[in-house]
Amino acid sequence: MAKVTDIDSPKVRNTRTKRLARTGSSAPKPLDEEKSNLAFELLLAGKSQREIAEAVGYQHKDDASRLLTERFKHEVGFITDMERKQMLGMALLRLNALLGAVWPAAMMGDPKSVDSARAIIAEAAKISGLQQIDPVVNKNLVLVMGEKEQDYIEALKAAGTSD
């Protein structure tokens, strides 16, 4: 069996550092509070990763993304269920506002607006959990039409024993 390398092992960190040096990107320090707070406020204000990176003094949008990821990893243990639901609700409200903006053009048949609307709807379904398969509903459900269920079951058993 192959040995699994921990993502925070020195080997992985060195590889990540070399890759960042090659691309000219500088990894943010582990949770710079001031920059992290500013980045989070800008994210809540709807700013792009590039705009956030520029505002906090990073050259690449990937650095801003890593800064926010570190913040989320740090704070995930402190977020209550209520706060999580509020954050999801806020994301859904934003998606609804975006959908409202593109919907009229999408209904008129504008291809870009249709694609945007579909992407927004898919993201909202993903966030709300509507895309997840419900195992109770999809567990070997058989719909029998035109016959009695017991007759169908006996026919299946008879077909299985004749093989």
**Alpha carbon distance, N-terminus to C-terminus of the chain:** 40
Reported as a pLDDT band with limits 50, 70 and 90, residue 28 is very low
Reported as a pLDDT band with limits 50, 70 and 90, residue 95 is very high
CB 83 within 8 A of CB 76: no
CA dihedral defined by 144, 150, 156, 162, rounded to 10 degrees?
Answer: -160
Mean pLDDT of the chain: 77
CB atoms within 10 A of CB 95: 19
The residue with tokens 């069996």 is 1
The closest of 144, 143, 98, 106 to 124, measured between CA atoms, is: 98
Domain boundaries, the chain: 1-78, 80-132
- For residue 1, pLDDT over 60 is answered with no
DSSP string, 101-137: HHHHHHHTT-HHHHHHHHHHHHHHHHHHTTTS--TTT
